[in-house]
A and B are shown apart, each in its own frame.
Chain A
Amino acid sequence: MTAAPLLPKTAPFSPEDINVLNSVVARTTPLQRSWLAGFFAGFEAAQVGQPQQAAAAKLRVPLTVLYASESGNAEALAMKTKKLAQKHGLDARIIDMVDTDVSILAKAKNLIVFASTWGEGDPPSRAVDFLESLMGDDAPRLEDVRFAVLALGDTAYAQFCATGKVIDERLEALGGKRAADRLDLDLDYAKQAAEWTQGTLTKLAPADAADTATVVHVDFKVPGCVPDDGEPLLTPENPLEVEIAALVNLNGTGSTRETWHVELMADAPGFVYAPGDAIGILPENDPDLALELAEAVGLGADGSVVQKLREGYDITTLSRPLVEAYAKLTGRTDVTRIADQKAFTEFAADRQLVDLFETYSETLAPEQLFDLLRPLPGRLYSVASSPAAHPGETHLLVGAVRWDSHGKKRKGVASTFLADRRKMGDMARIYVKPNRHFRLPDDSARSIIMIGAGTGVAPYRAFVEERAEHGATGKNWLVFGERNYTFDFLYQLEWQEYLESGVLNRIDVAFSRDQPEKIYVQSRLWEQRAEVLKWVEDGAHIYVCGDEKGMGRDVDVMLGRILADAAQGDDEAGRAKLKELTKAGRYQRDLY
């Protein structure tokens, strides 16, 4: 198997060197590449203190790179831009929208915005305040600003790239000069994003920019710490192949849930992660669905098509761009009709790609089919283990997704890949998705309140393990919610041990279906509000992990209410306090 060239043309080497390196790298295994990364990390560390070659640029101009990131993709692109900008004679400042306000825009000469959209079309939660003021009447005029916006999104959701679109339009309305056209990208954004960034930087760069080719120093010594300007070694394009060492459905017989504890043997030198990070799984599709889809377009007999569908393509997501492309390809007016936004929303409700092909059945050639599809994206899971507690391993907590709709049994791709189609001893391909915004306090004497429902408890297992391993003195309080106490108390025996040993100081639980009225984690928070306030006053960090719609929002409202309650019922003061905690990194959320 030959791998695609790993080093991009933009790599800080001569084109010849890039070719030579690529020819070597193409023959390497993920393990070898990890080894190399580790080796150079050590090598660089050893060089510290030696005088660096001074990089003298003839002319350098400032660049502001602003990002609105939820899962870290936009952030990673922003970080990457810093390196490339240097090459173009641009001195980039990388700024998270949560850490700044709109006044920064007026000062920017050159501006690149990386903006994610998530959910049905919402901005990342940390960027909400910034965007509100950007849209507000007091937003500064930006006549002197040259800007470009890259929007990230997911065509599976209704308002594709909405946040980026809104920002792009607003910057222009405020007088900004568009330096490059906005690009809206789907989950397989990496390659196009790199090209766009390259092109945009070229447009923004001063005419006589020096090619300084600064050595990028990457520090891998701190486990899991992805350096500010660095990238993780293991990516969807460069995953690590690992053995599945354990695969257990944690829910007891009788449960309405199915949550899998997955232990992976990830013992490679470059494999580093920290509690709070996510691990990406590169799944394969359900072979039955791949066959069904192939059959729907008359390709069921072609084994290689079915295999490609299974391994490489997203064959579940039904997006509007895809319907448009299908209408164009087939020339069918009935398909064109459902490409209309309203008709599409109606048709797509609880339907998948196979429904489109079966309802509007056409025979396709293999390449016609593949042209319609996007690559199969990886799925992210908050890591459920501490590397200190489980050296060489990483654990995940995966909720199996299954539902019935339109007469078909549907399955989550990655969750059932693990739950149904893999067993202990099989291999899986994974990568690390760092999450700098869901991290234990640097000060281990700080107390933490961990609020999570369902699989949202995963990072807290990692947190508590990590704090136990490092003897952190801060107190730990877990507030956990699920459906039924008897069957769904995820990691119950472990929590009992941590309570016994004093690592876990408090636990509160909310099981929604054990009694006539629904009890959720936020109800417990309200009951314990005096204690919550006490912990917050004492400097505790609050973490929330789990479902955004089902829990994240309600907990957010409740925390605001509790803080307002402490301020004599002043709602404004409550929200302000919550924002203050957010800015101080003491209120961190990992929602999905």
Chain B
Amino acid sequence: MTDDKRSRNEFIKENSRFLRGTIAEGLADVATGSISEDDSQLTKFHGTYLQDDRDLRPERAKKKLEKAFSFMIRVRVPAGVTTPKQWLALDAIAGTYANGTLRLTTRQAFQFHGVIKSNMKRTMQAINASLLDTLAACGDVNRNVMAVANPYLSKAHAAAHEIAVNISERLLPHTGAYHEIWLDGELVEDKSKSAKEEDEPIYGHLYLPRKFKAVVAVPPSNDVDIFAHDLGYIAIVEKGKVAGYNVTIGGGMGMTHGEIDTFPRTADMFGFCKPDQAVDVAEKVMTVQRDWGDRENRKHARFKYTIEDRGIDVFRTEVERRLGYKLGKVRDFHFDSTGDAIGWLQGADKKWHLTLFIENGRVKDQLGHNLRSALCEVAEQHTCAFVLTSNQNLIIANVTAKAKPKINAILKEYGITPMASSGLRRNSMACVALPTCGLALAESERYLPELLSMLENVLDKAGLRDDDIVIRMTGCPNGCARPYLAEIGLVGRNPGLYNLYLGAAFDGSRLNKLYVEDVNEARLLAILEPMLVRYAKEREDGERFGDFVIRAGYVKPTIAGNQFHADIELAKLAS
């Protein structure tokens, strides 16, 4: 025995022959719809998760059936930009192989749910035929790189988009496993060489200790939620051009209930780089984390803990050493909000852009609200681009003045209004959770719309229907919908029970704080109603709900991630 204390996943990666494992053999096994546990860790790097329909679990064994397994497939879309042709291709895949819906994620990617094993290769091939792929959409690698929505809005937006794409390409794994397994590519594994010698220049054969997330923002919009990510770039625009980027590091959302040495963390300001340095900086930051990150405890392996443990100055020194130059001083910037401006907007080049509110990013046809069909018909016009936002919304971009009425007419025909029914809903996000997510402890996507309708009654009483208030829900504490940066954060604990977090900043710069644990719907409404009514009456000019709850004493401000669990005074509530 060795005293190798590395976590299980490290051994899986090490023995995987650059992410091959026995995935191909597992796909060929027709007796089960699942794959082995080790392989299901590896397929994440290929952009897909093994899941099962948890609603169906109770009946399956009785019926002599295994769990209702299927795969979630996440498509890598740097900065969320797709062509109409790609949209149509993805829509067709959703209808043919997935559950008939497209999910726009909180990271500007697409997700398919419910793809069964026998259809996996065809689906992956169809995605690749649309000139998109799923490589590194999940797993211990750099994930889909986000950027401020809509590169067509201004030159700065276009530059941000370009940086995002370049970072994504630079940090992509090189392994031939993806082609081999999914695309029936040639076997590129060179068995004469030892596994370690295969060309994986940036990652090496162990990849990263954990996932790594990078984003690019263009102020004053903080739609990408820059402080929630491992690595961020804030464009500094001078005279309409990007002069360079403020770099942020060490943000992250995930934590574990009941473990206070796990916490969400807002990113720190790291320095300033010129546009042509941005990709190198990304590589160096990520590779220092590759070398310094914790490979023994996966719950402590995210970059944010490396920064906590080592300190930002030590980290900066190492990055600058590897870069061979020093980063500049952070420049001034200002963020307004994390939300999207819903509706039509005219860009610098006079083209029009329509941001559609899409509840929880779920594109599907429902009675009287045939969003999926509507978007297909828009895509068939081929006059626009489809841009996914970081808030799970969709921008129909690059529309000529002439085409604009046509798009309005199509949307109307299918019962689609771009707007949300309230400011709260407009600023809402939910993760997928039940029934497919294996981590979910409570409902999220299936429940939040209902809860919002109840809260809208409260808003009406308070006269707040049109006010922007950020609310986010997740089914577990891992933070897919970035709940710890919401003015009202709801994190699932048990079926029907949520922890309520309050007091995050509207512009995404401050985490919220736990206000009350394990509340059900009735208590939640009973808690929020007087608070919102009071906010409506007592708020100062322009004061945000997240700031008000601190001033009013409901919660203390969270000044840094490592203070997330400090100063908690759980509300004592009459039951």
Contact = CB atoms under 8 A, between A and B. Distances in A.
Given A485-B33, A495-B31, A511 B118 contact: yes
Contact of A493 (B61, B69, B70, B116): B61
B91 to A, nearest CB: 15
Given A507-B31, A509-B30, A249 B118 contact: no
B64 interface: yes
Interface stretch (A42-50, A149-157, A250-258, A404-412): A250-258
A561 interface: no
B119 A248 contact: no
Given A253-B56, A514-B119, A515-B122, A496 B70 contact: no
Given A509-B30, A516-B96, A252 B119 contact: no
B235 to A, nearest CB: 45
Interface string A217-252: 000000000000000000000000000000011111
A587 interface: no
Contact of B63 (A248, A485, A507, A514): A248
Contacts of B32: 496
A486 B116 contact: yes
Given A514-B116, A514-B119, A515-B122, A253 B65 contact: no
B62 interface: yes
A252 B70 contact: no
A485 B66 CA distance: 11
Contact of B56 (A248, A252, A495, A516): A252
B69 to A, nearest CB: 7
A252 B122 contact: no
Given A485-B33, A496-B31, A496-B32, A250 B116 contact: no
A252 B68 CA distance: 9
B60 interface: yes
B63 A250 contact: yes
Nearest to B69: A486
A39 interface: no
A493 B56 contact: no
A492 interface: yes
A252 B66 contact: no
B338 to A, nearest CB: 38
Interface centre among B62, B63, B65, B66 (most CB of A within 10 A): B63
Contact of A248 (B31, B62, B66, B96): B62
Interface in A505-519: 507-509, 511, 514-516
A250 B64 contact: yes
Interface string A326-346: 000000000000000000000
Contacts of A508: 30
Contacts of A495: 31
B396 to A, nearest CB: 29
Of B32, B62, B64, B97, most A-chain CB atoms within 10 Å: B64
Interface in A473-511: 485-487, 489-496, 499, 507-509, 511
A515 B118 CA distance: 9
A250 B65 contact: yes
A126 interface: no
B237 to A, nearest CB: 48
- Counting chain B residues whose Cβ lies within 8 A of the other chain, the interface size class is 20 to 34
Contacts of A496: 31-32, 66
A458 to B, nearest CB: 13
Given A250-B65, A516-B96, A486 B70 contact: yes
A253 B59 contact: yes
A491 B66 CA distance: 10
Given A253-B56, A493-B61, A515 B66 contact: no
Contacts of B70: 486
Interface string B18-43: 00000000000011110000000000
A511 B31 CA distance: 12
Contacts of B63: 248-252
A486 B33 contact: yes
A514 B115 CA distance: 10
A492 B64 contact: yes
A267 to B, nearest CB: 23
Contacts of B56: 252-254
A251 B33 CA distance: 16
B119 A492 contact: no
A248 B64 CA distance: 10
A495 B64 CA distance: 10
A492 B65 contact: yes
A254 to B, nearest CB: 7
Contacts of B64: 248, 250, 261, 490-494
A515 B125 CA distance: 14
A485 B97 CA distance: 13
Interface string B112-138: 000011110010000000000000000
Given A248-B63, A485-B118, A499 B33 contact: no
A508 B97 CA distance: 21
A197 to B, nearest CB: 45
A252 B118 contact: no
Contacts of A261: 64
Contacts of A251: 63
Nearest to B62: A248
A490 B116 CA distance: 17
Contact of B118 (A250, A494, A514, A516): A514
Contacts of A511: 118
A18 to B, nearest CB: 49
Interface in B50-97: 56, 59-66, 68-70, 96-97
Given A251-B63, A493-B61, A495-B31, A486 B68 contact: yes
Contacts of B69: 486
B65 A489 contact: yes
Contact of B119 (A490, A493, A515): A515
B36 to A, nearest CB: 14
A514 B96 CA distance: 9
B128 to A, nearest CB: 18
Contacts of A489: 65
Contacts of B118: 485, 511, 514-515
Contacts of B59: 252-253
A251 B59 CA distance: 10
A492 B64 CA distance: 6
A491 B60 CA distance: 11
B394 to A, nearest CB: 27
B66 A492 contact: yes
Given A252-B56, A252-B59, A253-B56, A499 B68 contact: no
Interface string B218-237: 00000000000000000000
A70 B117 CA distance: 40
A153 to B, nearest CB: 37
Contacts of A494: 64
Nearest to A499: B31
B164 to A, nearest CB: 35
A451 B286 CA distance: 55
Contacts of A253: 56, 59
Given A249-B63, A252-B60, A486-B69, 15 more contacts: A250-B64, A251-B63, A252-B63, A254-B56, A254-B68, A486-B70, A487-B68, A489-B65, A492-B31, A493-B61, A493-B65, A496-B66, A499-B31, A514-B119, A516-B96
- List 4 A-B pairs, minimum CB-CB distance, nearest first: A493-B64, A509-B30, A250-B63, A492-B65
30 contacts: A248-B62, A248-B64, A249-B63, A252-B56, A252-B60, A252-B63, A485-B116, A485-B117, A485-B118, A486-B33, A486-B69, A486-B70, A486-B116, A487-B68, A491-B64, A492-B64, A493-B61, A493-B64, A493-B65, A494-B64, A499-B31, A507-B31, A509-B30, A509-B31, A511-B118, A515-B96, A515-B97, A515-B119, A515-B122, A516-B96
Interface of A: 248-254, 261, 485-487, 489-496, 499, 507-509, 511, 514-516
Interface of B: 30-33, 56, 59-66, 68-70, 96-97, 116-119, 122
